[in-house]
Structure 1
Amino acid sequence: MPEIVGERLDVALSDIERAGFDEEVEVLGGGTFGVLDESNWTVCSQEPVSGEEITSAPRITVDRSCKGDDQGDPEAAESDEAADDQAVAAQRKKEKKRKQKAVAAVSDTFVMPALVGMNLQEAQNRLQARGSFLLTQTDGTGQERFQMLDYNWKVCGQRPAAGTVTDVATLVELVAVKLSESC
């Protein structure tokens, strides 16, 4: 299991998938309306802990920020500030490493997964976990609608085809319709 505490939820899910776990991850928290945009949530705790083998669905607890509730205690506030400074420094270091890996991975290839029938958001997550970030989405009905909430759409077609060895710099097209519509 990778270290994901302090990561944005979208990045954490991608890291878990890159570690070889392709099934559903249990996400706890998310407020009244749940997790609508994974990039707006921060991972506060994880099970299993970093370095342990993933034997069942990982459990992630998320919140907008992961601060304790000891605001009235000045010593705790100073400790929180120091911890925040360390977290920011660690986050910057991780981002720098991630960018370096992204630059090094430009010429990498991957085998295009079968995405037809899958939820559009999940399909995007699978591609991004493989280093493919050049994505375009097309309305499968020809109405040229925008896919505002990707989890409300399903994939009806994809280019390149499943099983194709694809360069991460290739533009991937996902043709999608709303969940209630037929392909």
Structure 2
Amino acid sequence: MRAIVAAISSLALFGLVACGSDEAADMPAVEGERLDLALSDIDNAGFSKDDVEIVGGGTFGVVDESNWQVCLQDPAAGEPIGSSPRLTVDRTCGDLDHGSPEPDSVTNNDDQGGDADDSASSTFTMPALVGLNLQDAQDTLQALGSYLLTQTDATGMERFQVLDSNWKVCYQDPQPGAPVPLETLVELGAVKLDERCP
């Protein structure tokens, strides 16, 4: 009986030592993926997705992981995950997104005709967003390069739009058709999908 107990103890100890000697998981390639899929890939690679550090996510952080895209990852794909991996997220990732805006939608204002510098102002034509789902309206603006946005509860009750896809746009500023510099703060007033615009 003692021999059986000793054998079981030895096997258990060997199992613990073997588990402790596993090499670190390799980081999968997740740049450009939706955040929920990236976290699943990391979890499947053998590193708990609960220990992943998320950088970005706006004012209220990441509420719905499927609404965010991974723009940068650390460590790089194929490298061992030594400590908590870091994912930098945004609604869209510019060059990793579905392509550049249409040439007539975004223009570079270089009045001098000389060398363009990085501080040159760019503009876009403001689209009509009233009636759109708030998430779709944000995606439309970001596809045009406009990332400065404030969202307002159109009822005046000052509610936060925690899940943007549950809201619709009632008013916008600037108005549709206006040429708008990219550094302009766009305001969208919204109500919940089942509410009427005031």
TM-score by length of 1: 0.50
Cα RMSD for the two superposed structures: 3.4
Q: Distance in 1 between matches of 2:182 and 2:76?
A: 39
Alignment of 1:79-158 (within 5 A): 83-85=77-79, 104=118, 107-158=121-172
Aligned to 2:24: none
Aligned to 2:20: none
Alignment of 1:46-61 (within 5 A): none
| Deviations 1:71-100 (CA, angstroms, capped at 9, x unpaired) | 6xxxxxxxxx984239x9xx9xxx8x88xx
* Structure 1 counterpart of 2:41, from 66, 79, 102: 66
Which one-letter code corresponds to 2:41 in the other structure? Answer: C
Q: 1:83 to 1:136 in 2, by over 3 A?
A: closer
Please say if residues 30 and 38 of structure 2, whose CA atoms lie closer than 8 Å, have aligned partners that are also in contact. Answer: no
| Deviations 1:12-70 (CA, angstroms, capped at 9, x unpaired) | xxxxxxxxxxxxxxxxxxxxxxxxxxxx33xxxxxxxxxxxxxxxxxxxx342435968
Query: Relative contact order (C-alpha < 8 Å, sep 6+): which is higher?
Result: 1
Q: Distance in 2 between matches of 1:117 and 1:129?
A: 18
What SS is found at the alignment partner of 2:140?
helix
- Larger helix proportion of the pair: 1
What is the aligned length?
Answer: 110
Q: 1:157 to 1:68 in 2, by over 3 A?
A: closer
Q: 1:137 to 1:70 in 2, by over 3 A?
A: closer
Matched, 1:162 2:156: no
Task: Using the aligned pairs only, state the percent identity.
Answer: 51
What SS is found at the alignment partner of 1:123?
helix
Aligned to 2:191: 177
TM-score by length of 2: 0.47
Q: Any stretches of 5+ residues in structure 1 without a counterpart?
A: 10-39, 42-61, 72-80
